[in-house]
Amino acid sequence: MKITVLGGGLSPERDVSLKSASLIANALLSKGHEVALVDLYEGIENDRPAESFFRRGTVAPFTYTIPETEPDLEALIKQHGGRRQWVGPRVIELCQYADKVFLGLHGSHGENGQIQAVLDAFDVAYTGCDYLGCAIAMDKGISKAIVAEAGILTAKWVTGMPSEIPMERMEAEIGLPCVVKPIGCGSSCGVSIVYTKEEYQAAVDMAAAYDQPILVEQFIKGREITVSVLNDRALPITEIIPHEGFYDYKNKYQDGLTTHICPAQIEPEDYKKAQDLTLKIFGLLKMTQYGRVDMIYDEERHDFWFIEANNLPGMTNTSLLPEAAKVEGLAYEDLCEQLVLNCGR
């Protein structure tokens, strides 16, 4: 099978995506498929025939290392003559040429439904949620509202442009400590936990740098867990324990900075409750095929607080869904192949 793997893009999460996409491409090559790895933003800037971009075998595997800091997107745009169109040259052609497209994308255009809608318009089969599930899950305000309406615990929150949530409003409606984050980013980009009034404005300014509304929510103390879903089935639960601070961009993607316990040590009744709750949230948010739901485990209440949903979760060597699948006996290479074989309409 010919498979185009899309990675990169014009997103703060492009480095994470390129790492995921490289590992996905290598996994599919090891299963005997023909694979082209294409950067959604950079595209292909030459006239070689489409067939020539598809590799066979594993002689020269794809590699990528995630830096400790987020990419400089303005510098990338400058390198490409100031081009801000987020779909690069020949990307759609390489997608149409393939039998399937594996979306190794994270953030903005990759997870907010835009690339899914574009591929739908060209009748291209791709992995993961469709445009509707992506649009709903990626917007943290919309997803929290839907979950809350269904009676599921989630921290109280407000959303708006940074100027619309001054300290006075935060104090009156949320209080300290609180969490400040962009409304439509993943990988903990732009996220801060605020404990004092003095820290608040800096946190808002950092989230505002992503040029989108922000979300300010109550900080919920408890054990951070995540539950992955694969083909309508909840995988083993993972507890996330950063060695320092919280589960931010650096702790997520640099080896050895966070401990993952899978399966999490949770009382059996609560364990099943978390998995059932995850599947319910997955359905409420119109998510399909695979994804992840992040929650806080409140041991005193024997309950769970919804944080957010991930419709294209990381597929790196430190990522949570592949680890949970491995606990169930599904090797990384088999997981990638299963996802691409089972996608499409």
Q: Output 64 or 276, whichever has higher pLDDT.
A: 276
Long-range contact list for 161-168, CB < 8 A, 24+ apart? 161/213, 161/214, 162/204, 162/205, 162/207, 162/208, 162/214, 165/204, 165/214, 165/216, 167/197, 167/200, 167/201
Looking at residues 209-221, what average pLDDT do you find?
92
- CATH number, domain of 69, equals 3.40.50.20
Is the separation of the CB atoms in 115 and 85 below 8 Å? no
Lowest-confidence region among 148-157, 200-209, 287-296: 200-209
* Residues 122 and 230 occupy one common structural domain: no
Give the residue from 202, 208, 229 showing the smallest Cα distance to 289: 229
Q: Which of 252, 9, 204 is nearest to 107 (CA)?
A: 9
Residues paired with residue 173 on neighbouring β-strands, in sequence order? none
Write down the pLDDT at residue 244.
Answer: 59
Tell me if 285 sits within 8 A of 310, measured CB to CB.
no
Is the pLDDT confidence value at 249 over 50?
no
Same domain, 10 and 78: yes
User: Do 73 and 189 fall into the same domain?
Assistant: no
307 & 209 share domain: no
- The answer on 123 and 11 residing in a single domain is yes
Which of the four pLDDT bands, split at 50, 70 and 90, describes residue 242?
confident
Contact by Cβ (8 Å): 118, 103: no
Task: Give the C-alpha separation, 101 to 282, whole Å.
Answer: 23
Structural domain ending residue among the three candidates 218, 235, 262: 218
User: Are 147 and 294 members of one domain?
Assistant: yes
Reference 316, options 128, 64, 111; nearest CA is 64
Q: At what angle do helices 140-149 and 268-284 cross, to 10 degrees?
A: 120
Q: Verify that 214 and 254 share a domain, yes or no.
A: no
Section 264-290 average pLDDT: 97
Same domain, 310 and 199: no
Q: Which two tokens stand for residue 18?
A: 């390129």
Domain that holds residue 212: 157-218
Q: How many domains does the chain have?
A: 3
Same domain, 212 and 177: yes
